Structure 1
Amino acid sequence: MSLSDIKHSLKKYEFPVSAKEALIRIEQILVGRAGTSNKQVDGAIEIISEFVFCETDRRSGRRSGGLTPLQQLQLIDIICDYLSSCTNESTKNTVFLSLFGGMESQRRLKILSILASMAVSASSTSVLLAVGVWLQQMGCSSPQSLQLVENVIRDHFYLNTSNQMTLKALATTAPQFVSNFITAVTELYLHDVQGVNKLPPKNLLEVITSWVYSNPTLCMSAQLNPAALSNGAIPMAAVTPLAGLIHWCALAPLYIETDSEMVEVAVPFKKIKIEGEKEQSIVKNYVNKSLTESELYIKLHLGVLHSLRAGRRTHGPPTAVNAQHLAGLVPLVQAYAHQLLQRGVKLHTDDKLQDCLDRIGQSVQVALANGCVYGNINNLLTLLDTLPENRLLRIIIKTHQQAI
């Protein structure tokens, strides 16, 4: 069937039925052939624009106002149904990327953000895995990926602790999505943008800590489970969140105050009832200690070290941590040390700085010992050697420089 015939058949339907039928036609155009021509791809793009997102007026060819809020929700429901019913991962990802790939359109990105947020709420594995592939193909640090992730954080990780169990379960149901999500999240915080280090919301930190600490292989999920794409598609390399998490854990002592949060909770006190004794309602208050931010970063740091051990490659070159990404810590730590010197503080006596350097040393040692680092390791060690004096870090640098 020619493109004009497909369009003619779709014009018989009104939205949202036209969008549902269009997804079927798009699958037929893009999937199941040895190779898809540019003409077929262009045809699928036209159908998507006109019949799925209603970006083009059928009669005049001019861009219309797009979908109303109600129509957006109808379209999201249709896309969810399609992804849930599609049993072939390659087909599902191909159609999904054709809908949202490129993403020059803010309207489509808005729809995708709503779709991703709803999928997180509903723990929709099929949708989340497709979103995970999208993040990887777009690049987890791309503006579009960061915008989507910020929307998900706003919807689920600010002042909302009631859904933590649902969020924590995503590491098991959609690990590839979670891995790419964390990679993108680490780009948003503790990056010293114009002298300001934005900290992640505590609820977000709690969930990420739980994910990483409880699942040592989680950070490698996107690499261990390559995205299923159609023939001829170019898969983008998965980047683990490990380097970004090492940044978080190392820099946390410099910006997080050591604090405590004690929460009074009233709970029933269990007591053995003696025969003949009148039943009493006894309530006892006990103090339930919630982890502070500084304690969460300690726990996250331990989880990262376990993940680095799990990231050891028995075959092939290392893929877990880029040496250049690790080296990005150096100027941030040096800037903090410079501020201390300006205040007349001796660097070896500053507990926060030494804690930071200890964590860098521990992470580098475990990463190098387990063969997780790729790139210019010699340059990494040279840069680390310019950091303020720290006995552990200095021993680790010297040991690995001698081994090269």
Structure 2
Amino acid sequence: MGDIRQSLLPRDVLSAAKELLYHLDIYICNLVQSGRQTPQVDTKTLELVEEFILHSPKDRNVQPRRMSALQELQLLEIMCSCFQEQSRDAVRQLMFSALFSLQGNRADESRMALLSKLVSMAVAVGRVPILECAATWLQRTHRVYCVRLARVLVDDYCSLMPGSVSTLQNIHSSSPRFCCQFITAVTTLYDLTTEDLTPPLELLQMIVSWLQDDPRLVLVTLLNTALSGSPPISSLDLTPLGGLVRWCVKAPLAYGRSEKRPPVANGTAESQAAEAGPLFSTLHLSVLQVLMMLPNVLNEKGLFGRLALLQPETLATLTSDLSRLLDLADEHGPPGDAHTLSQLALDRLAQALQVALANGALLCSREDLRAICSRLPHNNLLQLVMSGPVVYYNNIHTPPMAFSPHSAHSPISSHPTHQPLPPHPAPHPQYPAQPFLSPMPFPYRPNH
């Protein structure tokens, strides 16, 4: 495509961009039809995209051409139509990658700005093909840029125009893949470490309603991903389960912080915190329901006992943050309230750990678990979880186990700290396999 550059130079900025998109569509269609196993867009084509669509010329001495706000809106509409009219998903995905895959150069800021506006428009006008491509982009891109895109959408639909959150909410049924990746990104962004990183109430309400309608939504990426190896450490998690557990556990203390809260549009911060409490309780229940679905899902993919959706490192960070919040609550909160909120947070952590261990989402020994939770104060439920019988999985990636409820050949063994019981007059029946559930179908803000 390098030979079309001379024909694009005399054109005005919008006409050149439109013409290049037309040629790019033809070029990628030919690439896909060529039958190559992994078709790739050549470097010269990517340079044309940077020059005539992202307006970042290679020559630093050349003044980049700029679009007016109206021209930019027209370009976004053209791009929406281009992806909507292209019927082949392989072509759409490759074109989206050619336009928005980050290259590690100065054009990346222009890419992020245009991508954020395009995805925001796609949400507004219901362009599902773009949302599906954006879901793939979120799965493959460094998490730093993923959370930037998520922040733009939250700003556009939850902060700048709160009444428009229903528009974002409606994509739940049209693009579950994008919704799953969006939840993962926002739970990565809003980690409840500060007031600014506490999720807006509108966002929380939307995610809770999504999971009430269909808790399996958070497993969509897992169900649609062929896992051939470990994902890049810089990418988003495979599911938002870790982030959602963090939200539920930290919420009672994070929303009870004593820092001065700024006024909000729809009432005081205290009233919003009171309204958020039941929402986090509902969210916690949904997370536990999803964790109980995992044995069926992981067994179908041959990953039970091999894939940990909750990482010990994530839990170590969570318990460290929780310990700090507990100290703050003890120092600044009313004694009775502080104790109640602290026990609620610890109870939720214990429940999540127990259900995750029992259903294969967390693969670690009780010794490791006790080390992770060593900084936390006493909690009866958490103590039971840390001292309970170990559940092991018949897999070389995990240590040998005393008893597995998922195997029909695993006898009951005594707890390591107890002496073996004398023989029973009649042998115990072996534990049957666990009945599984039925199979399931399956702060960057660009200038506007």
Give the TM-score category using the shorter length.
0.7 to 0.9
Indicate the residue corresponding to 2:181 in structure 1.
180
Do 1:222 and 1:238's aligned partners in 2 also have CA atoms closer than 8 Å? Answer: no
1:149-204 alpha-carbon deviations (Å, 9 max, x no partner): 111111101274533443332122111111111111112223425xx673211111
Question: What TM-score does the superposition give when structure 1 sets the normalisation length?
Answer: 0.78
Cα–Cα, structure 1 residues 5 and 344, in superposed 2: closer, same or farther, change >3 Å? closer
Indicate the residue corresponding to 1:267 in structure 2.
none
Indicate the residue corresponding to 1:95 in structure 2.
95
Do 2:294 and 2:361's aligned partners in 1 also have CA atoms closer than 8 Å? Answer: yes
Indicate the residue corresponding to 1:269 in structure 2.
none
Cα–Cα, structure 1 residues 399 and 343, in superposed 2: closer, same or farther, change >3 Å? same
Indicate the residue corresponding to 2:293 in structure 1.
310
Residue 37 of structure 1: CA displacement? 8.5
Name the CA distance, whole Å, in 1 between partners of 2:163 and 2:358: 40
Residue 330 of structure 1: CA displacement? 0.8
Cα–Cα, structure 1 residues 79 and 154, in superposed 2: closer, same or farther, change >3 Å? same
Aligned residues: 359
Q: Structure 1 unaligned segments of length 5 or more: list them.
A: 228-235, 264-289
Do 1:308 and 1:370's aligned partners in 2 also have CA atoms closer than 8 Å? Answer: yes
Do 1:55 and 1:66's aligned partners in 2 also have CA atoms closer than 8 Å? Answer: no
Indicate the residue corresponding to 1:287 in structure 2.
none
Residue 387 of structure 1: CA displacement? 1.8
1:42-81 alpha-carbon deviations (Å, 9 max, x no partner): 11111202232333399x9724143332222122112111
Cα–Cα, structure 1 residues 378 and 81, in superposed 2: closer, same or farther, change >3 Å? farther
Residue 323 of structure 1: CA displacement? 2.8
Counterpart residue identity of residue 19, structure 1:
A
Do 1:179 and 1:241's aligned partners in 2 also have CA atoms closer than 8 Å? Answer: yes
Name the CA distance, whole Å, in 1 between partners of 2:5 and 2:320: 56
Indicate the residue corresponding to 1:203 in structure 2.
202
**1:247 paired to 2:241:** no
Higher mean displacement: 116-125 or 341-350 = 341-350
**1:70 paired to 2:70:** yes
Higher mean displacement: 204-213 or 66-75 = 66-75
1:106 to 105, 109, 129: 109
Counterpart residue identity of residue 292, structure 2:
R
**1:299 paired to 2:297:** no
Residue 344 of structure 1: CA displacement? 11
Cα–Cα, structure 1 residues 71 and 97, in superposed 2: closer, same or farther, change >3 Å? same
Residue 133 of structure 1: CA displacement? 1.3
Residue 375 of structure 1: CA displacement? 7.0
Counterpart residue identity of residue 147, structure 2:
L
Partner SS, residue 189 of structure 2: coil
Residue 9 of structure 1: CA displacement? 4.8
1:225-255 alpha-carbon deviations (Å, 9 max, x no partner): 239xxxxxxxx78621110010011111113
Partner SS, residue 321 of structure 1: coil
2:118 to 115, 119, 128: 115
Name the CA distance, whole Å, in 2 between partners of 1:25 and 1:304: 46
Residue 306 of structure 1: CA displacement? 1.4
1:338 to 327, 336, 344: 327
Name the CA distance, whole Å, in 2 between partners of 1:325 and 1:134: 23
Counterpart residue identity of residue 277, structure 2:
S
Higher strand share: 1
Q: Structure 2 unaligned segments of length 5 or more: list them.
A: 227-234, 258-265, 267-272, 393-400, 402-448
Equivalent residues in 2 for 1:234-383, closer than 5 Å: 239-257=238-256, 292-312=275-295, 313-314=298-299, 315-316=302-303, 317-340=306-329, 350-374=339-363, 379-383=368-372
**1:220 paired to 2:219:** yes
Question: What is the alpha-carbon root mean square deviation over aligned residues?
Answer: 3.4
Residue 376 of structure 1: CA displacement? 7.7
Counterpart residue identity of residue 62, structure 2:
R
Residue 116 of structure 1: CA displacement? 1.3
Counterpart residue identity of residue 382, structure 2:
L
Name the CA distance, whole Å, in 2 between partners of 1:344 and 1:202: 23
1:296-326 alpha-carbon deviations (Å, 9 max, x no partner): 1111111111122233311223353323212
1:344-393 alpha-carbon deviations (Å, 9 max, x no partner): 99899811110001101111112221112357885344312442111111
Do 2:310 and 2:361's aligned partners in 1 also have CA atoms closer than 8 Å? Answer: yes
Indicate the residue corresponding to 1:20 in structure 2.
18
Question: What TM-score does the superposition give when structure 2 sets the normalisation length?
Answer: 0.71
